[in-house]
Chain A
Amino acid sequence: MAKKPMVVELDEVVIKFAGDSGDGMQLTGSQFSDTSAFVGNDLATFPDYPSEIRAPQGTIAGVSGFQVHIGHKEVTTPGDLADVLVAMNPAALKANMKWVRKGACIIIDIDNFDNKSYKKAGYIEDPLSDGSLEGYVVIKAPISHLTRSTLQESKYDLRTAEKTKNQFVAGMLFWLFNRDIKIGETFIESRFRKTPDLVKANKMVLRAGYNYAETIEAMTTTFLVSPAEDRKGLFRNITGNVATAWGLLAAAEKSGRKLFLGSYPITPASEILQEMASRKNLGAITFQAEDEIAGVISAIGAAYAGCLAATSTSGPGLSLKGEAIGLAVITEVPLVIIDVQRGGPATGLPTKTEQADLLQALYGRNGESPCIVIAASTPANCFNYAFTAAKLALEHMTPVIMLSDGYLANGSELWPIPEMSDLPEIKPPLLEDNHPNYYPYFRDTEKLARYWALPGQEGLRHRIGGLEKADVTGEVSQDPFNHQVMVEIRQEKVDRVANFIPKQEIFGEESGNILVIGWGGTWGALYSAVKDLQEEGISISLAQFNFINPLPSNTGEILKSFKYRIVCELNLGQFAAYLRSKFPQHELLQYNKVQGLPFMISELKYKFKEILEK
């Protein structure tokens, strides 16, 4: 008989799903976040995969996780610590216990907790009886067993049972969070629409999990997270990588240019290429090149021929593309380079996040080779910054590097869907055929952008290339004074972009005690930490930079208006070093983390309070 549980209202909750790579935790996580979006919660998600596809079952290396943070109040990060942990085996438990709040609810698949599994996960004693879980609400559910018996009656095989046990977990959570199970069923129907048999099996298991949770004594309290405040309109849940691809597509539509993406698969940027490859319906061209170099070079060719051309990669790929980016600088063609940063150097931590490509993006080429560098700061605003990168490249005729990172790329958030009519125009400096007095390096006087004459146009035949060219005429020139002129023009062209980008905004008072400085993907954690301290009455503000080169024109003003300035970044101090080179008069404190992990709000608050105690 169904019991009547107590319902507790929560402002926010963090749930972590963890299991073997093959346990379907990513799917359950997406299902739960979509359901939350459906009922109107704000949310942020973050998957946490191993770099191996299917590491040995039951080992720590094979644990795959998915964290969802849902809220009635504003949600800006996937959350520091989990309130609910789902652990499908001992390895998942062991790998995640340090990220779980004291007192949290832990749901385990008891069928996977035997002596052999403890040892495989690296436990010496049974974690269920060694006292390590004291103070937590542990729900030991026979998930594997009950999934099998649910499906047995309908003659499903063991493989199907293995693949659907994640729905048992989902069912339990639907009950626990008072969710309408029909939303979960709709998700299943759309996800498995090509295999009706699997739809049926998944739905049966989902319901079995729901009924189980309703029946057992151990679960007496359920939770309700009400719809988010101040959220109205049409939303979707979007990852940084998809948002990046869509931002480029939007820019192609706005500028009337064909989109060309020349890329080589690399973690964690591959989804940009994949997403674009499935956008042929919008005319997108993807070229999966034979290597990183061919990726960027093909994009330069496409740019020369008149496309909005881009290449997407991660740090190691950016290293390989360096020479070619220099070619785009000297030939002054519009090019967007997306760098989804990961832990480095070399192969480093392919699936983990880091911000250590900043100096490479700024300086990683031979010669005086300035690029516009911008950075996205949330999964959804990857759309805006990819769009902006394309706009700047097309209008200023120069390469733009957009920095994303593993955290933004795979993380997702609820995004208010924009209308295309709300986005700014993009007007590349095209020329009509037979334009009189056309020269390859004849420039627009305001932006210093050269004009974009396209092969096929009558009367504009010209030749460009990697050798230095004479100002205006574009003939090959090794003249010493001309070289200096050209180097200075290319620098000036990038510097002038500062006149076309917004001023740096500050969250909080415009002067005061502490200015927290961040850039790119750390926004969520820095914002939450600063906001919490502001609510405690502390004089603290945040400047989160999206425009790195050039910096917004009011950057110097901002820096001088605070007593302390602390630059927080996921590297050893690259943005701090860059700011010092521009503003040596200001002392900058640093907080640096290089663990392949995003900042936690709690560690930031601790650090900021420490400054005040000095």
Chain B
Amino acid sequence: MTISAENQFKLSPEDYKVEEPVKWCAGCGSHAVLTTVRNALPETGVKKENVVFVSGIGCSSRFPYYINTYGFHSLHGRAAPLAAGIKIANPDLSVWIVTGDGDSMAIGGNHFIHIIRRNIDVTLLLFNNKIYGLTKGQYSPTTPKGSVTKTSPEGTIENPFRPGELVMGSQGTFFARVVDTEPKMMKEVFIQAARHKGTSVVEVLSNCVIFNNQVHSEITGKDVRDDNQIYLIHGKPMIFGKNRDKGLIMRNNHLVVVKIGENGITEKDLLIHDALDPRNSTHYNLVRMTLPHFPVAMGIIRSVRSTVYEDLLYEQINTARGSSPVKNMDDLLKSGNVFHINGT
């Protein structure tokens, strides 16, 4: 990706606005994400012509139509391989995937894990509203067990996926979690995700005002959010709570919530968040934390360096080009076993 010096070209959120109306429901979490992405893009240092938004199918996947960059609205579940093809074809492009929990966890689940495993340098925003919105209210692979939906009138009997676990299981190099109600945190995370070399996955907990309203209110509600979220910052202790008096420690290889001041615990005893740790066991434990026994981990949970697919690919191509005597098709056609026949 070409990252030019900042301010070299002055871009503003206005540069990314389209004339067509945005057709999400009023109150949908996607509006806030769209605005934040427009705000974040000028700060990624990428030319607007080099930005491509790719999506699958679902409410969130209409995103490319609402942002003035190059864009491709593909098929249900297939945004990841489409983005892979674009990025591999032209690594100078900054490629973003917008997908939902149905799109990337169900029909596109296979593509999701494979793009992460390959570590292709794209940024994937996963809008997780834990419901199928565009088809009007069926449960999704992230819907909590027992939820009553149109296709689970007695409650779902399936264990939900946690996207972060799939990321860790696929040797992901970048995973962050944000909520649609906190634009400041979102913007900072989006910029970091865009700058990360490799597949960056950002799970956006977003609200579906029609079919799953207040799905994340336990996490995002003003009165509970400080106690129910922990905002992880690299190099900082894992501390949370309205009074910033709670934290996380590791005991017998398990995360444990402790109260500062109780049992002799001080801030110094808390775990320091190390997003750069190449081992992913702590990150794995962090993404698994759920209410009510744990706060939900937010922010950049993992951000590590690793080799990137398209870098290795072009290295191989350049090496082969340099060392092979076959420089063009005519060379190839005449290489190897050829026969001069003189006829009779």
Interface residues of A (CB under 8 A from B): 34, 37-38, 40, 72, 190, 226-237, 246, 249-250, 253, 258, 260, 262, 279-283, 285, 287, 289-291, 293-295, 297-307, 309, 323-324, 327, 331, 414, 417-420, 454-467, 475-476
Contact = CB atoms under 8 A, between A and B. Distances in A.
Contact of A227 (B74, B82, B330, B341): B341
14 contacts: A72-B344, A227-B344, A233-B341, A260-B88, A287-B85, A290-B81, A294-B111, A297-B74, A414-B339, A455-B50, A455-B93, A461-B49, A461-B69, A464-B73
A455 B336 contact: no
A236 B81 contact: no
A280 B317 contact: yes
Interface in B62-102: 64-65, 68-75, 78, 80-90, 92-93
B343 A464 contact: no
B248 to A, nearest CB: 36
10 A-B pairs with least C-beta separation: A301-B85, A465-B73, A281-B324, A463-B71, A298-B85, A280-B320, A305-B89, A294-B81, A455-B70, A302-B89
A44 to B, nearest CB: 15
Given A234-B339, A281-B321, A461-B48, A297 B70 contact: no
Given A249-B332, A294-B78, A302-B89, A455 B52 contact: yes
A461 B68 CA distance: 7
How many residues of B sit at the interface, in one of the four size bands? 35 or more
B8 interface: no
A455 B86 contact: yes
A258 to B, nearest CB: 7
Nearest to A417: B333
Given A297-B74, A298-B85, A463-B70, A232 B341 contact: yes
Contacts of B73: 463-467
A37 B339 CA distance: 7
A283 B90 CA distance: 13
A282 B78 contact: no
A465 B64 contact: yes
A207 B196 CA distance: 62
Which of B57, B93, B111, B313 is packed against the most chain A CB atoms within 10 Å? B111
Contacts of A236: 333, 336-339
Given A228-B343, A285-B313, A419-B330, A305 B86 contact: yes
Contacts of B81: 262, 289-290, 293-295, 297-298, 301
Given A304-B86, A475-B20, A246 B49 contact: no
A227 B342 contact: yes
Contact of B344 (A228, A282, A299, A475): A228
Given A34-B337, A38-B339, A290-B111, A301 B86 contact: yes
B26 interface: no
Interface in B278-335: 313, 316-317, 319-321, 323-324, 326-330, 332-334
B266 interface: no
The winner among A287, A295, A309 for most chain B CB atoms within 10 A is: A287
A306 B89 contact: yes
Contact of A324 (B69, B75, B83): B75
A462 B67 CA distance: 10
A324 B78 contact: yes
B194 interface: no
A383 to B, nearest CB: 9
B340 interface: yes
Given A236-B339, A249-B329, A290-B110, A298 B317 contact: no
Interface centre among B20, B82, B316 (most CB of A within 10 A): B82
B114 interface: yes
Contacts of A420: 328-330, 333
B59 interface: no
Interface in B38-64: 48-50, 52-55, 57, 64
B169 to A, nearest CB: 15
Interface in B1-54: 20, 48-50, 52-54
B65 A465 contact: yes
Nearest to A186: B337
A456 B338 CA distance: 42
B142 to A, nearest CB: 21
A462 B70 contact: yes
Nearest to A307: B89
B317 A456 contact: no
B88 A298 contact: yes
Nearest to A289: B81
A253 B329 contact: yes
Centre residue among B54, B93, B324, B341 by max chain A CB count within 10 A: B341
Contacts of B72: 301, 304, 331, 463-465
A234 to B, nearest CB: 6
A258 B324 CA distance: 18
Contacts of B326: 281-282
A40 B85 contact: no
Nearest to A284: B317
A282 B332 contact: yes
B341 A40 contact: yes
Given A228-B344, A280-B321, A297-B82, A417 B89 contact: no
A465 B49 contact: no
Contacts of A301: 54, 72, 81-87, 89
Contacts of B20: 475-476
A235 B341 contact: yes
Contacts of B68: 461
Contacts of A281: 320-321, 323-324, 326-327
B337 to A, nearest CB: 6
Contacts of B321: 280-283
Nearest to B19: A475
Contacts of B319: 280
Contacts of B341: 37, 40, 227-228, 231-235
Given A281-B320, A299-B85, A476-B20, 17 more contacts: A37-B337, A235-B338, A235-B339, A280-B319, A282-B329, A289-B81, A297-B85, A298-B88, A301-B81, A301-B82, A302-B88, A304-B72, A323-B75, A417-B338, A461-B48, A461-B70, A463-B64
A285 B329 CA distance: 15
A192 B53 CA distance: 50
Interface in B140-166: none
A230 to B, nearest CB: 6
A323 B65 CA distance: 21
Contacts of B339: 37-38, 40, 234-237, 414
A37 B338 CA distance: 9
B114 to A, nearest CB: 4
A414 B338 CA distance: 10
A246 B332 contact: yes
A467 to B, nearest CB: 6
A485 to B, nearest CB: 20
Contacts of B317: 280, 283, 285
Contact of B75 (A228, A457, A466): A466
Nearest to B330: A420
B84 A227 contact: no
B90 A234 contact: no
B88 A287 contact: yes
B75 A327 contact: yes
Contact of A226 (B85, B320, B344): B344
Nearest to A40: B341
Contacts of B49: 455-461
A456 B85 contact: no
B341 to A, nearest CB: 5
A237 B80 CA distance: 40
A232 to B, nearest CB: 4
A302 B343 CA distance: 45
A281 B320 CA distance: 5
Contacts of B343: 40, 227-232
Interface in B160-181: none
